[in-house]
Amino acid sequence: MGISERKEREKERRRQEIISAAEHVFFRNGFEKTTMEMIAEQAELSKATLYLYFKSKEELYFAIHLRGEAILLEMMENAVNRAPSTEEKILSLLKTIADFKKRYPDYFEVIEYFHINRALLKSGFEKIEESFKRERKNLKRWSDLIEQGKREGLVREDLDPVKSIIVIWLQFTGFLQRFYLICDELKSEFGVEEDELLEEAYKLIMNGILRRE
């Protein structure tokens, strides 16, 4: 291994250590209350050294977004590969989003932050194209399933694959954000169990997608 390659590996190792330290701070304090000084302290670095790796806390938050996004897309790919039919593949994607929200709530919030604050992505963060490529791959996975379902006579003919998936994504992720904030209250007030309400959500979405004779 040459000197330059060794230096690059060391730089990437340090970068990942900083991201891990930032996760602890962001997940504990939230985005707004977190400062670069807090992250530098957690990483046991000077603030000046931290800025050599990341220009702002937004850029660091985006690096965490990339980690969460990679986990989510891997979960989706595995779920689709396991499902035997087109209908079950579509349903498995919905269930994977809910599973991701439950297992990785902090990563879910970071991903949603950048979906809501899309203007920040114009800042030219490092690896921004990597994220866009992942998003396009995810959208294509969903839209291809809708197209496949239409060919099988399973999915409604009038659905536009891209538009319908965008609406479903926004609808379901918004539901999950609010649902997990009030699920205990819903249980105490209406006797609604978490799994029961999720199943109702899946049913409503799938009924809007599938053809019914």
pLDDT digits (tens, 9 = 90+) for 90-110: 999 999 999 999 999 999 999
Domain boundary among 16, 33, 54: 54
Q: Are residues 71 and 164 both part of a single domain? A: yes
Q: Is the pLDDT of residue 71 over 70?
A: yes
Q: Are residues 87 and 118 both part of a single domain? A: yes
Q: Is the pLDDT of residue 2 over 80?
A: no
Task: Answer whether 154's CB lies under 8 Å from 87's CB.
Answer: yes
Q: What is the pLDDT of residue 131?
A: 85
Q: Given phi > 0 = left and psi -120 to 50 = alpha, else beta, which region is 164?
A: alpha
Q: Are residues 112 and 130 both part of a single domain? A: yes
Task: Answer whether 73's CB lies under 8 Å from 137's CB.
Answer: yes
CATH of the domain at 24: 1.10.10.60
Q: What is the pLDDT of residue 60?
A: 95
Q: How confident is the model at residue 213 (pLDDT cuts 50, 70, 90)?
A: low
Q: What is the largest CA-CA distance in the chain?
A: 67
Q: Are residues 69 and 35 both part of a single domain? A: no
Contacts of 42 (CB under 8 A, 6+ apart): 21, 22, 24, 25
**Count of domains observed in the chain:** 2
Distances in Å between the Cα of 66 and the Cα atoms of 7, 25, 104, 134, 208 are 23, 17, 13, 9, 31
Q: Are residues 1 and 84 both part of a single domain? A: no
Q: Are residues 10 and 103 both part of a single domain? A: no
Q: Are residues 34 and 131 both part of a single domain? A: no
Task: Answer whether 114's CB lies under 8 Å from 58's CB.
Answer: no
Q: What percent of the chain has pLDDT over 90?
A: 73
Task: Answer whether 34's CB lies under 8 Å from 57's CB.
Answer: yes
**Mean pLDDT along residues 62-90:** 95
Q: Which domain holds residue 26?
A: 1-54
Q: Are residues 84 and 127 both part of a single domain? A: yes
**Mean pLDDT along residues 86-90:** 96
Kindly tell me the burial class for residue 25, based on how many C-beta atoms sit within 10 Å of its own C-beta (0-12, 13-18, 19 or more). buried
Q: Are residues 180 and 155 both part of a single domain? A: yes
pLDDT digits (tens, 9 = 90+) for 41-62: 999 999 999 999 999 999 999 9
Q: Are residues 95 and 61 both part of a single domain? A: yes
Domain boundary among 18, 33, 54: 54
Q: Can you give the pTM of this predicted structure?
A: 0.90
Task: Answer whether 93's CB lies under 8 Å from 146's CB.
Answer: no
R_g (Cα) of the chain, nearest Å? 20
Tell me which range, 9-13, 124-128, 200-204, is most confidently predicted by mean pLDDT.
200-204
Structure tokens at 133: 């490529």
pLDDT digits (tens, 9 = 90+) for 134-179: 888 889 999 999 999 999 999 999 999 999 999 999 999 999 999 8
Q: Are residues 35 and 62 both part of a single domain? A: no
Domain boundary among 14, 35, 54: 54
Q: Are residues 86 and 181 both part of a single domain? A: yes
Q: What is the pLDDT of residue 121?
A: 72
Q: Is the pLDDT of residue 186 over 90?
A: no
**107-130 as b/e: b if 16+ CB within 10 A:** bbbbbbbbeeeeeebeeebeeeee
CATH of the domain at 146: 1.10.357.10
Task: For 132, list phi and psi in degrees, rounded to 5.
Answer: -60, -40
